[in-house]
Amino acid sequence: MAIDKLGTKQITDNRKARHDYFIIETIEAGIELVGTEVKSLRAGNVNLKDAWCSIESGEMFIKGMHISPYDHGNIFNCDPTRERKLLLHKKEILKLFGKVKQEGLTIVPLSLYFKNSKVKVAIGLCKGKKLYDKREDMANKAAKREIERAVKIRNR
């Protein structure tokens, strides 16, 4: 976990989301956590792989995110996969809700990080990729790697 110039420290990244979805828009949100969960996050014990976001009665929740119980947390540890509330302005939630309902998009957490000692979640408004889209992306990555290798060898 490296700290960059803006005072952010990356905790985890959801690489599966970037593989399975086209990311249309990215939004930063706060997250409501318990003290032992924050300590567990500082140790890096979190998994965003199967997480998603849903909007219920005007509030946004993140579901399926697994934060391992803190080792020294005793009775204060809570359920590792409980749903956690995301902190967004009402206008942002309504805008996202409209896009999800109208355009058939989904909201997926992309990364988790500390920003000035507060835990933030980067959520993405995403559209699902088809199998041929994934193959095309893998072919483009392979082609880029080949080009970089050729340039590197040529510059020696």
CB atoms within 10 A of CB 7: 10
Identify the pLDDT of residue 136. 87
Summarize pLDDT for 1-53 with one digit per residue, the tens.
Answer: 566 667 788 898 988 888 888 899 999 999 998 888 888 888 888 998 889 89
Give me the CATH code for the 8-130 domain, please: 2.40.280.10
Residues 6+ apart with CB under 8 A from 115: 6, 7, 8, 28
Q: What is the pTM of this model?
A: 0.78
For the CA atoms of 33, 68, 18, 129, what is the dihedral angle to 10 degrees? -100
> What is the chain's alpha carbon radius of gyration, rounded to the nearest angstrom?
18
Phi then psi dihedrals of residue 53, to 5 deg: -120, 145
Each domain of the chain, given as residue ranges in start order, spans 8-130
Q: Which pLDDT band holds residue 72 (cuts at 50, 70, 90)?
A: confident
